[in-house]
């Protein structure tokens, strides 16, 4: 059965309450809050992770979302301010076109979201060792925009001692 945009939105919305409840359950069981939560999804899992983070609004679900070869079911109208989005997509993906990642990145940046987007030229609809290394590097080294902004509000001088 073909999934069009309207059916995709319906199907994701139908599963979202259980998906979010499962994440909240794991957070309670592990005593880890949203800031320590990273949702990683591939393809349909990426769609669910992106939608869950955006749908949560001010009630942050995860500090970081890694969406691999995915897309939004529908581009959000609001910025998931407490969540950093890592969008990674293969340019050779024949299942979900990489243009969805480019469009989402532009849209989310325009909303003021914290977004890192990578389009991998040789990658199809999959994950290889180089992509796993990229994900690990992004998660280890990216300083979330919200932390930079908080530091700037507190008047912390930029590296090198200069002024703004």
Catalytic residue check, 31? no
Q: Which of 4, 43, 89, 128 is catalytic?
A: 43
Q: Which of 93, 107, 128, 133 is catalytic?
A: 93
Q: Which of 107, 118, 125, 142 is catalytic?
A: 125
114: left (phi over 0), alpha (psi -120 to 50) or beta: beta
Catalytic residue check, 43? yes
Residues with catalytic function: 43, 93, 125
């Amino acid at each position: 059965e073909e999934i069009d945009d309207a059916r995709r939105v319906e199907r994701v919305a139908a599963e979202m309450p259980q998906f979010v409840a499962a994440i909240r359950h794991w957070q309670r069981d592990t005593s880890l809050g949203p800031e320590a939560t990273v949702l990683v999804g591939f393809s349909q899992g990426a769609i669910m992770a992106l939608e869950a983070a955006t749908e949560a609004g001010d009630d942050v679900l995860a500090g970081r979302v890694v969406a691999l070869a995915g897309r939004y079911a529908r581009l959000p109208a609001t910025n998931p301010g407490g969540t950093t989005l890592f969008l990674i997509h293969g340019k050779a993906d024949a299942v979900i076109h990489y243009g969805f990642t480019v469009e989402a990145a532009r849209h989310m940046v325009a909303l003021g979201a914290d977004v890192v987007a990578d389009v991998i030229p040789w990658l199809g609809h999959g994950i290889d060792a180089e992509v796993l290394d990229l994900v690990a590097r992004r998660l280890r080294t990216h300083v979330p925009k919200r932390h930079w902004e908080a530091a700037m509000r507190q008047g912390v001088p930029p590296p090198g001692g200069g002024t703004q």
